[in-house]
Structure 1
Amino acid sequence: MRALARGLITTLLLIAGLAAAGWLLLRRPDIPYATLEARYGYADSRYMDLPGGVRAHYRDLGPRDAPALVLVHGFAASTHAWDAWADKLSKTYRVVVLDLPGHGLTRTSEGYAVGRDGFETVVDQLTRRLGLERFTLGGNSMGGAVAWAYAVDHPDRVRRLILVDAAGWPRTDKGGAMVFRVLGNPVGRRVMRDLDIRPLITQGLRAAYVDPKLVTPALVDRYVELSRAPGHRDIMMGLQAGPRREATASALAAIHAPTLVMFGEDDRLIPAADGEKFRQAIPGATLILYPSVGHVPMEQIPDRSRADLETWLAAHPAS
């Protein structure tokens, strides 16, 4: 009996030791900002110190006297999501793309806490310091939620609104990506906080992009490495745990800026039916649906989606 007990204890200790060793092997430290800036910064990257300990990374492209477009990325993404649009649109428009706190190359002070209202504040502070009193505001996914919320709260500043597979309507599930189901659970967040979640990120990107050829090793590397910037993981985990501002028909009815809603019909993260909800709720909104396209039309079909945007912008000129 004693031998059996000793054997059981030895087995349990061995399992615990292997688990601890596996934990240590899978842990991934922060990557210094200097390394990330050298790897993922642009030749025209700019940085702006904002109140609250935020050093925002952004790009300001195109003619300074042209109508301005401000584009906001989604959860775990960065300014890179808009590259294909920004390069072409900046020939006609002034295009500003920025990294939100906890994302891309934007730095925050230690212990910085942000909710979605904090994202609105950063958009407001940065655009005012750039001298943009009125501008067209666009956003994808979480950035779309930031965009429509900003349009509701600052109707005097938003000339036109662009919602690309925007988040906001109440959800009872976490979509088709396992990473959101894991991060939606407090135990999952604690377990995954310091571990290598490359497989989960890869699965999430495949769900978002639909076309597996677009989910290249370089794309996965960028998402994984930028998520390991100092402070980013804490902020992104906090976003999954914190309260969210949900879209309602009554709130969105207050938006009177011309609005374009773009949605991939095969979006596995946010149902395309949410696009129709935005169209119905926002007075005069236009909806474009893309068959066989997922969560990021500006990356999956950049030329087609940009051409549609330019046609719509021409039909709704900035006054």
Structure 2
Amino acid sequence: MAIALKIVAWLIGAIVLIALLGWLALARPNIPYAKLEAKYASKTSRFVDLPGGVRAHYRDEGNPSGPVLVLLHGYGDSSFSWDGWSKALGDRYRVVILDLPGHGLTQAPKGYRATGDGYVALLEAFAEKVGLQRFALAGNSMGGGVAWRYATRHPERLDALVLDAAAGWPMPIGESPSLAFRILQHPAGRAVLKTIDNKPLIRQGLRGQVGDPAVITDAFIDRWAELQRGPGHRDILMSIDLGSAGSATPELVASIRTPTLIIHGEKDPLIPVANGRKFAEHIPGARIITYPGVGHLPQVEIPEKSAGDVAAFLAALPATK
């Protein structure tokens, strides 16, 4: 009996040691903001101080005299995934691309807790601070969820709304094709993801979310992974509470009166195209365009086509004073 107990204790100790060595091998420290800014900030990068100690990074691109188009990225992403749209739309529009707290080059204070309501309020504070009186608003995935909620609360600011594979409708738990999202559903998994090199999970997740994995380059993955290692970013990403703003309901989205375009990839494995059709069904007058063979990131997978559809939609709207 004593020998058996010793063997069990030795095995437990060996397992703990292996786990510790594995964690040490995978552990990655934060990357200082100065280093990230030196590598990723561009000549169009701007920074603005917002309530709650947030130093927000945004890019102000395109035609400075044109109508304003504000773009919001998805979960774990950054403003840089909109490069294709900025290039395609910049001749006509002033393109303003915001990094939400916990993402990109935006800095948030220690202990910052991101919520759906908080992101909506931060977008309003940002618009007020930089003087955006009226604008068109587009968002992908999580950013789309922020966008439609913003439209229900601040319609006076919006000329148009574009929902790009937007989040919001209740989703079944545990069905995500992304291993990272499945791990995020468990507290222990989130604790581990806050400290290790997530690049393999990011690679698997991103390439599994698009129609053609080749569009997700190694450089794209490297940037995504490095920006998530900004100080405090992983803490925010692992504790984010988007549900605080509430899920989409037919009654809620039916209150949106902003002219709305929905775009959605038909091969989106993360947010099914049926969810995009729900927005189109319940938002009065909304149009929907779906893309065969395209997944969760139309702005990355088919930037010229999706931007062209957005440009045509915006150009057909009545001029606003």
Fold shared by both chains (TM-score > 0.5): yes
Tell me how far 1:4 sits from its aligned partner: 4.5
Tell me how far 1:244 sits from its aligned partner: 5.0
Q: Which amino acid aligns with 2:257?
A: H
CA change 1:101–1:207 in 2 (3 A) is same
Distance 1:317 1:224 in 2: 41
Q: Percent identity?
A: 49
- The 3-state SS of whatever aligns with 1:254 is coil
Match of 2:263 in 1: 262
Match of 1:54 in 2: 54
Distance 2:233 2:243 in 1: 15
Q: Which amino acid aligns with 2:219?
A: A
Tell me how far 1:233 sits from its aligned partner: 0.6
Distance 1:203 1:243 in 2: 29
Q: Is the 8 A contact 2:115 2:241 kept in 1?
A: no
Match of 2:188 in 1: 187
Deviates further, 1-10 or 93-102: 1-10
Distance 2:309 2:242 in 1: 36
Q: Is the 8 A contact 2:117 2:242 kept in 1?
A: no
Match of 1:177 in 2: 178
Q: Is the 8 A contact 1:37 1:105 kept in 2?
A: yes
- The 3-state SS of whatever aligns with 1:20 is helix
Query: How many correspondences in the alignment?
Result: 319
CA change 1:244–1:199 in 2 (3 A) is farther
Post-superposition Cα deviations, 1:104-148, rounded to whole Å, max 9, x if no partner, equal: 000011111121111112211111222211110110000000000
Q: Is the 8 A contact 1:84 1:302 kept in 2?
A: yes
- The 3-state SS of whatever aligns with 2:240 is helix
- The 3-state SS of whatever aligns with 1:159 is strand
Match of 2:35 in 1: 35
Match of 2:93 in 1: 93
Q: Is the 8 A contact 2:206 2:216 kept in 1?
A: yes
- The 3-state SS of whatever aligns with 2:166 is coil
Post-superposition Cα deviations, 1:205-242, rounded to whole Å, max 9, x if no partner, equal: 01222311112211111111111100101111111686
Distance 1:52 1:197 in 2: 28
Match of 2:205 in 1: 204
Tell me how far 1:14 sits from its aligned partner: 2.4
Q: Is the 8 A contact 1:159 1:318 kept in 2?
A: no
Tell me how far 1:254 sits from its aligned partner: 1.1
Distance 2:126 2:162 in 1: 19
| Match status 1:143 vs 2:143 | yes
Distance 1:273 1:63 in 2: 35
Distance 2:185 2:241 in 1: 6
Distance 1:125 1:318 in 2: 26
Q: Which amino acid aligns with 1:47?
A: F
Deviates further, 3-12 or 73-82: 3-12
Distance 1:158 1:208 in 2: 30
Distance 2:279 2:243 in 1: 23
Runs of 5+ unmatched residues, structure 1: none
- The 3-state SS of whatever aligns with 2:12 is helix
Match of 2:161 in 1: 161
Match of 1:232 in 2: 233
Runs of 5+ unmatched residues, structure 2: none
CA change 1:232–1:163 in 2 (3 A) is same
Deviates further, 204-213 or 100-109: 204-213
CA change 1:242–1:168 in 2 (3 A) is closer
- The 3-state SS of whatever aligns with 1:229 is coil
